[in-house]
Structure 1
Amino acid sequence: MFRKSIRQKIVGIAAGLIVLAVITSLLSMIMAGQVGHLLGELTSRYIPAYAHLARVNVRSLERSLAMRRMMMAKTQGPVEDETYAAARKTFDEINPIINQEADAARKLIVAIINDPSTPSDNAALGRIDDRIDNALNDLLPRLNTENQTLLDELDAKDFVSARKTMARAEGLRDDFNSRIEGIRADMLAQVSSSAKTVMSAQQHAIMISAAVTAIAAVLGFVFAMLVGSGITGPVMRLLEGTREVEAGRLDGSITITTQDEIGQLSAAFNRMIETLRHNQRIRETFGRYINPRIAEGLLDQPAIAATEGQRRVMTVVFCDMKGFTTLSEGVTPRGLVKIMNLYLSTMSEPIHAHRGIIDKYIGDAIMAYWGAPFVEETEQTHLASLAAIDMIGRVTQLRKELPELLGVRAIPTDCDIRIGIATGEALVGSIGSEFMMSYTVLGDTVNLASRLEGANKFYGSRCLISEATAAGCSDTIELREIDRLVVVGQSQPQTVFDILGKKDELTEAQTELRRNYAEGLAAYRERRWDEAEQALAAALAAVPDDGPSIALKARVEGFRQTPPPADWDGARHLEHK
């Protein structure tokens, strides 16, 4: 019964609020329609009528000015005949316009009077209409008669009589304008009155809407209190349980004290907590073997596991430990595990910090990638380059920590890292068999990143990136073109670069190195061996241990002794991985 009562009360609240909302909407629509109707009359009748009367006044003044010009032109003789003709044309054109504007104003005023749907001062409007009629049918004809007499006297060159007639016409014109101005003033008062009526109607509509809304709020509050008085206790327990879950504490559960909807909700909440505990255990387990973001995606969206893969632009990074074989010689298995854990942890942190996904560890190699849906396509090359800079920066610290970890004084001096980065289209998705799946990336881009990592050993470099990667991060990363390279498995050369640092953060020596290396590389490609050797020597003077400069200088010396064939394109072909 209690469960049924709750449902009935909730339905009653909803029905009452719906009825009140409908009433409010209908009242708002009706009152908005009334306000709109009043506003329409104001904008389409009152204001245009006033504008017509204003133009009557203006046209009357223009006609008087044209008359004065004709008078002046006639008194000055034949030389002003053109001026007289132009003024006469203006004078003749204005007279019918005055009547048209006045008639238009009268029609609008009559329309206002005849419209019973809007409130208006019909008596005052009727007086305005009569005054316009008197001005048009009494005063204006007399003024036109005097104007015509004046024109006849001007044509007869009777200037003495014309001046007298001009004075009488000016008096009539002033009287006409005075009447029109009075009519305009009264019409403006009617416009203001209509505007006040519109504002009053609008305020009335707002007040009624506010009152109905307030009534709906009060009734809704009363009904809500009635229903809430019977379910507050269970709901508070649910709220407390929710706060515990929000804080990450999933050990508790809610005591079920009722059999109504709240009791069912409490039971469902307990089942949800159990499911969350189970998922948390799975996440904690998966998070140590695959990236947590991928694990969460697989748990939250199980359909992702069945995807056939998508082709997306991705940036792939391979990182390998140089000198690992030498370092691992003579180390116990336990010590080797310590080395691997320290090295992988040190190099994985920058990848995580820059939102990369670690795909797998392959011995001492790390494969990671950036791309949708984990980062935007436009920022993936920038993030991967920053991660590479950070990884290289941690080599010095790694060399200090390894001896302490192994309990030795020093480690081999060639302990370093090699990084390869490539950007391009790759197949992304859950790939594997019915027994085991892996969310990974495949394709030529992955192979190229792996080949570039291995190519570092031929150049004595730490990080080589593909041309597409360089194009994507050149605005934020300082780069140096290294060579045109054909890696194993490809037939076309592509330009490779290495990363010098963040934008505008190069040292003077790095800047000098890049400039001289570029000059040496250009001379090398044009077979100018002496110039190439000089430029590379200058590069090594700036940074004596620069691997790419040493490697390119050795190739120059080799080509000096054994020149390349005539069809040599300057690219280096790697025959080994």
Structure 2
Amino acid sequence: MPLFNQSIRRKIVGIALGLIVLMLVTSILSMVMSSQVGILLDELTNRYIPAYGDLARANIRSLERAVALRRMVMMKMQSPTDEEAYAARLREFEDADRKIEQEAESARKHINAIIDDTRTPSDNAALARIETRIETAVIELRRDQNEDHAKLLKQIDAQQMTEARNTLEHIDALRDQFNQKIDAIRADMLKQVFVSTSQVIRHQRQAIIISGIVTVLAAVVGFAFALLVSSGITRPVRLLLAGTREVEAGRFDKAITVSTQDEIGELAAAFNRMIEQLRHNERIRETFGRYIDPKVVQGLIDRPEVAIDGQRRVMTIMFSDMSGFTSMSEGMTPRGLVKVMNHYFTVMSAPIRNNRGVIDKYIGDAIMSYWGPPFVEEDEQALLAGLTAIDMADEVPALQKQLPDLLGIRAMPVPCDLRIGIATGEVLTGSIGSELMMSFTVMGDAVNLASRLEAANKVYGTRILISQATAEAIGARLELREIDRLAVVGQSVPQPVFEVMGRAGAPNPPQESLRAYYAEGLAAYRACRFDEARSAFNAALESAPGDGPSRAMLARIAQFEANPPAADWNGAWRLESK
């Protein structure tokens, strides 16, 4: 519709003008109808009622004339005659006689004015008859009484009282006939007055009703018009609001229908272009989210300066590796190998993401991930890494059952397991690479230590080894045991390493015995009391047959018995291989 293609300003001005026009139409119609009622009322008050009053006064003048006539007779009948009084009564008689004609003529003028006025719906035929009857009554009165009046005066002058009395009675009869005619005319005139009054009242009621109807109609039309135009404004706004909420909720698949060409329509079109751009950016984010952790992507979007400048932070690094993978992959086809690796990474990546970790990269069958600001708080990063390692270890039994089905074989040719190393320390975070390609990663001694601890699991037969800093950060929130004082490749100063045994309160009595015996053996081992250490480690094996660290320490004691350590040995062990 052309109406909705106008600007908002024009729509609002149009609504205002429409309402003003409706108001003017209503006012003009009310004025016209009020004017019509005024015309009828003016005719009633200035013509009908005066005409009726003139006829009523004509009756009165007739009575006054009769009274004046009798007084004239009485003056003549006095002895001696009072000529002066007689002349005064004669003047009264003549004045009353003249006024009868004046009143009748005035009534006729008013009636003719009503008949001549075409603006009013009067009964002109009835009024014309009344006007004719008035004229006839006056003419007959004048014709019949003029002769009798002259006759009466002669009889009075001749002192013919009996004849004068008869003449006077005849004059009274004529007067009564005139009065009866005037009364009849007045009655008909009164009917016309009532008819005119009814018309005034009817027109007044009609004016009120029609004005009310027109006012209501104008209000309804104005409201409908305003509602129509306002809905054309508010509906796109509601759609825009709904679209904004969809975007706020992260849904970019719903475009807004552009139904107008005003400012809101332009805003809706711009909003659709914005959604399309956001959808495009989201696709880019989802695509890169498969290659770069979504937390890193979001972090770089929110704070791009971090990637450019780099920062030094205390973070917790984790390396996890799949043992036995090399032997298993030798006989696999490339497609089967990709299938197995994708499943393995999917299963092992879930605990990392669930515990708010950031996957840095996949290295062969290894996963490098980290925790720390700004992704998690510094005081919870070590615990989250430890919980992630436990969750990943819990997935191993199910994974071991799934791999044969994925490979299409009955049983795995070699057993597979998981090794995890965790270290906490200061690292450098930032974008590392060339001008053509960069990667947001972490670098530092903690990264190297976590990688060496993952490899050290092979030496001790463990799954999860963590550094001293990580163990101190975790505290009693997980079940830990110290395994050894170790110096890995690239480090000159040895430090204690710990095994994560499970969640706090999780170890059973055999594990508690294992931890106690192992701690006793480790203390004796470091004091070079190898016999005591052997007995403690054997006791630990009795509590947990197959315990890797106990076996490793027993093998080391046998080696020391053949080649004792130096006198200044501090109980630490140095790994010579990565």
Distance, in Å, in 2 between the alignment partners of 1:356 and 1:460 is: 26
Stretch deviating more after TM superposition (443-452 or 226-235):
226-235
1:522 paired residue number: 523
- Taking a change above 3 Å as real, the CA distance of residues 301 and 566 of structure 1, as seen in their structure-2 partners, is closer
SS at match of 1:479: strand
* Structure 2 match to 1:288: 290
Aligned-partner residue type, residue 266 of structure 2: Q
Return the letter of the residue paired with 1:544: P
Provide Cα deviations, 1:66-98, integer angstroms capped at 9, x if missing partner: xxxxxxxxxxxxxxxxxxxxxxxxxxxxxxxxx
SS at match of 1:484: strand
CA displacement at 1:458 relative to structure 2: 1.2
Residue of structure 2 in register with 1:259 after alignment: 262
Partner of 1:96: none
Q: How does 1:132-151 map to 2 (within 5 A)?
A: none
In structure 2, the residue matched to 1:234 is 236
**Partner Cα separation in structure 2 for residue 340 and residue 487 of structure 1:** 29
Contact persistence 1:421–1:449 (CA under 8 A)? yes
Partner of 1:395: 396
Structure 2 equivalent of residue 279 of structure 1: 281
**Could you tell me whether the CA contact under 8 Å between 1:520 and 1:533 is conserved in 2?**
yes
Q: Distance in 2 between matches of 1:274 and 1:339?
A: 37
Q: CA deviation at 1:569?
A: 0.8
Displacement after TM superposition at 1:434 (Å):
1.7
Counterpart of 1:290, as a letter, is I
Query: Any idea what SS the aligned residue of 1:518 has?
Result: helix
The CA deviation at 1:544 is: 1.0
Partner-residue secondary structure (3-state), 2:439: strand
* 1:479/1:501 contact within 8 Å kept: yes
Say which SS state the counterpart of residue 474 (structure 1) adopts: helix
Partner of 1:98: none
The equivalent residue for 1:557 is: 558
CA contact (8 A) 1:238 1:254 kept: no
What SS class does the counterpart of residue 309 from structure 2 fall into? coil
Q: Cα gap change, 1:253/1:303 in structure 2, threshold over 3 Å: closer, same or farther? A: farther
Matches within 5 A, 1:98-497: 231-245=233-247, 246=249, 248-260=251-263, 262-305=264-307, 307-497=308-498
Structure 1 unmatched runs, 5+? 9-224
| Number of residue pairs matched by the alignment | 360
Structure 2 counterparts to residues 48-127 of structure 1, below 5 A: none
Q: What is the distance in 1 between the residues matched to 2:406 and 2:482?
A: 38
User: 1:203: which partner in 2?
Assistant: none
Q: List per-residue Cα deviations over 1:390-439 (Å, max 9, x = no partner).
A: 11111111111111111112114531111100001101122222211211
Verify the 8 A CA contact 2:517 2:536 in the aligned structure 1: yes
Aligned-pair distance for 1:341? 1.4
Partner residue, 1:129? none
State the distance in 1 between where 2:356 and 2:315 align: 13
Change (3 A) 1:4 1:378: same
Q: d(CA) in 1 for partners of 2:501 and 2:533?
A: 21
Q: Percent identity?
A: 61
Is the contact between residue 433 and residue 439 of structure 2 (CA under 8 Å) also seen in structure 1? yes
Closer, same or farther in 2 for the Cα pair 1:570/1:227, shift >3 Å? Answer: farther
Aligned to 1:209: none
TM-score norm. by structure 1 comes to: 0.59
Alignment CA distance shift 1:247-1:293 (3 Å): closer
SS at match of 1:472: helix
Q: Distance in 2 between matches of 1:280 and 1:370?
A: 25
Identify if the C-alpha distance between structure 1 residues 566 and 531 changes in structure 2 by more than 3 Å, giving closer, same or farther: same
Q: How far has the Cα of 1:525 moved from its partner?
A: 0.4
Would the alpha carbon gap of residues 299 and 532 (structure 1) be closer, same or farther in structure 2, given more than 3 Å must change?
A: same
Deviations 1:92-143, CA, capped at 9 Å, x for gaps: xxxxxxxxxxxxxxxxxxxxxxxxxxxxxxxxxxxxxxxxxxxxxxxxxxxx
Of the two, which has the highest radius of gyration?
2
C-alpha deviations, 1:474-508, integer Å up to 9, x for none? Answer: 22100000000011111001000000001111011
- Indicate yes or no: 2:572 matched with 1:571: yes
7 and 562 in structure 1: CA distance in 2 versus 1, 3 angstrom threshold: farther
Query: 2:427 and 2:470 mapped to 1: Cα distance?
Result: 14
Shift in alpha-carbon separation, 1:397–1:569, aligned structure 2, 3 A: same
CA distance in 2, matches of 1:563, 1:485: 18
Aligned to 2:501: 500
Are residues 562 and 301 of structure 1, via their aligned partners in 2, closer, same or farther at CA, if it must alter by over 3 Å? Answer: closer
The residue identity in structure 2 corresponding to 1:295 is V
Please give the alpha-carbon distance, in whole angstroms, between the structure 1 residues aligned to 2:509 and 2:542.
12
Deviation of 1:272 (Å): 1.0
Three-state SS of the structure 1 residue aligned to 2:326 is helix
CA distance in 2, matches of 1:357, 1:333: 28
Aligned-pair CA distance for 1:561: 2.2
1:519 CA drift (Å): 0.3
C-alpha separation in 2, matches of 1:531 and 1:6: 97
Q: Is the 8 A contact 2:462 2:549 kept in 1?
A: yes
Distance in structure 2 (CA, Å) of the matches to 1:257 and 1:228: 12
Deviation for aligned residue 1:372: 0.7
Change (3 A) 1:244 1:354: closer
Give the Cα–Cα distance (whole angstroms) in 2 for the partners of residues 478 and 342 of structure 1: 30
Superposed CA offset, 1:294-325 (max 9, x none): 223334555454x2210011000000111111
Unaligned runs of 5+ in 2: 1-5, 14-226
- Give the Cα separation in 1 of the matches to 2:477 and 2:423: 17
Cα displacement (A) at 1:2: 4.9
Q: Is the 8 A contact 1:322 1:418 kept in 2?
A: yes
1:572/1:312 Cα in 2 relative to 1: closer, same or farther (>3 Å)? same
**Aligned residue in 2 for 1:166:** none
Cα distance in 1 for partners of 2:12, 2:489 equals 72
**Residues of 1 paired with 2:477 and 2:418: CA distance?**
23
Q: Distance in 1 between matches of 2:236 and 2:541?
A: 77
Could you tell me whether the CA contact under 8 Å between 1:253 and 1:273 is conserved in 2? Answer: no
- Name the CA shift for 1:304/1:524 in 2 (closer, same or farther; >3 Å): closer
Q: Is the 8 A contact 2:484 2:573 kept in 1?
A: yes
- Structure 1 contact 241–254 (Cα < 8 Å) conserved: no
Report SS of the residue matched to 2:332. coil
Mapped to 1, the partners of 2:390 and 2:577 lie a distance apart of: 27
The one-letter amino acid paired with 1:253 is I
Pick which of 522-531 and 263-272 moved more: 263-272
